[in-house]
Amino acid sequence: MANLRKKLPPLTALTAFEAAARLSSFTRAAAELGVTQAAISRQIHVLEEDFGFPLFRRLHRRIELTEKGRQLFSAASDAFSLIADAAADLRAEGPDDELAISATISFAHFWLMPRIAAFSRAHPEIKLRIVTQDARTRIEAGDIDLALRYGMGTWPDGQAEFLFEDEVFPICSAEYAQSKAPILAPADLVDHPLISSDTDDPIWTGWEEWLAAFSVKAPKKGRGLHCSFYTEAIYAAMNGQGIALGWNRLVADLIRQGRLVRLTDAAIRTRAAYFVVVPTRKPRKESAQQFIEWLREASTSNA
């Protein structure tokens, strides 16, 4: 250990250097570390004195790493990342085993939350934290242990394991269906308000794609409600606002409860599927593996 300390540069100075190099600014590094800009400059000077060569080029109103400075920054960044990952893993261990799960709002609302009490009953020792947001969370950059996603199964931040596919069909409230003439075929749908929701995901099925699968052209100016989120579209359908597209895995419970009804036998299989995604850069928790096994069992019953 003594020999190792002799080989290492001053660690306080190295911390200041890493922040300044990452932020390309002594001022921003000082703000991040809670010290003055002069203190950062002094620590960088200490480090450059220790190495015997400059690490930054001081230009007009900006700094730039030298070639040797870039080499040191690459090594320091990797080393700090390894320490941070190890610290996060150590903090996660212990009797209070929190399992952080990321899911989209609609999947968490309609599929996960109605079922998750069964997991908690089977594993009361595991503390769950559900993070719901439609913007995709990079699981390798945060404290998420696993993510539930809909897509093609290829994400750069983790290893995806297939859960299940889905199918899409039109749905509405029982009251709405009873108040209208029978809807027997996809072509009958265009005379009704078609509820839609915003999405930036090209693999998400909308009305235009769904109707085109049955050679039906979607109306150019539909009378249906346009919602920001899929959850809003489903609630609009339950409240008699018109007809929405239902993902079977998300609306099956609502259909069994009579809060929604399926219209026509027409359906299309989704191009994508549901996956559980696990970070590749950190060891998989035992609780995460238990949750994945529970997911597989839950997905085969009352799908």
Which pLDDT tens digit goes with each residue over 54-68?
999 998 888 999 999
Mean pLDDT of all residues in 201-221: 88
Mean pLDDT of all residues in 243-272: 95
Mean pLDDT of all residues in 77-95: 72
Residue 252's pLDDT is what? 95
List all residues 6 or more positions away from 292 whose beta carbon is below 8 Å from its beta carbon: 146, 161, 276, 278
> Which range has the top average pLDDT, 7-11, 81-85, 142-146, 249-253?
249-253
CA 220 to CA 6: how far, in whole Å?
A: 73
Binning pLDDT at 50, 70 and 90, where does residue 219 land?
A: confident
Mean pLDDT of all residues in 139-149: 81
Q: Where are the domains of the chain?
A: 2-92, 97-165+272-300, 167-269
CA nearest neighbour of 250 among 128, 115, 130? 115
Residue 1's pLDDT is what? 47
Q: What are phi and psi of 269, to 5 degrees?
A: -75, 140
Token couple for 127: 């503390």
Binning pLDDT at 50, 70 and 90, where does residue 243 land?
A: very high
Residue 221's pLDDT is what? 72
Residue 141's pLDDT is what? 61
pLDDT-wise least confident of 167-176, 223-232, 254-263: 223-232
Residue 61's pLDDT is what? 81
Contact 176, 195 (CB under 8 A): no
- Please tell me the number of Cα atoms within 13 Å of 237 on its side-chain side: 30
Pick the CATH number of 97-165+272-300 from 2.30.29.30, 3.40.190.10, 3.20.20.70, 1.10.357.10: 3.40.190.10
Total-model pTM: 0.65
pLDDT at 302 exceeding the cut of 80: no
Length of the chain equals 303
List all residues 6 or more positions away from 212 whose beta carbon is below 8 Å from its beta carbon: 218
CA nearest neighbour of 145 among 299, 254, 291, 243? 291
CA 92 to CA 130: how far, in whole Å?
A: 16
Mean pLDDT of all residues in 164-186: 93
According to DSSP, the β-strands at 261-262 and 167-172 are: antiparallel
Q: Measured on CA atoms in the order 134, 262, 257, 259, is the torsion positive or negative?
A: positive
| Adjacent-strand bridge partners of 153 | none
pLDDT at 291 exceeding the cut of 90: yes
Is CATH 3.40.720.10 correct for 167-269? no
- Please tell me the number of Cα atoms within 13 Å of 250 on its side-chain side: 26
In the CATH scheme, what is the code of domain 2-92? 1.10.10.10
Check for a shared fold between 2-92 and 97-165+272-300.
Answer: no
Residue 95's pLDDT is what? 44
pLDDT at 14 exceeding the cut of 60: yes
What string of H, E and C letters represents the secondary structure of the chain? CHHHHHHCCCHHHHHHHHHHHHHCCHHHHHHHHCCCHHHHHHHHHHHHHHHCCCCEEEECCEEEECHHHHHHHHHHHHHHHHHHHHHHHHHHCCCCEEEEEEECHHHHHHHHCCCHHHHHHHCCCEEEEEEECCCCCCCCCCCCCEEEEEECCCCCCCEEEEEECCEEEEEECHHHHHHCCCCCCHHHHHHCCECEECCCCCCCCCHHHHHHCCCCCCCCCCCCCEECCHHHHHHHHHCCCCEEEEEHHHHHHHHHCCCCEECCCCCEECCCEEEEEECCCCCCCHHHHHHHHHHHHHHHCCC
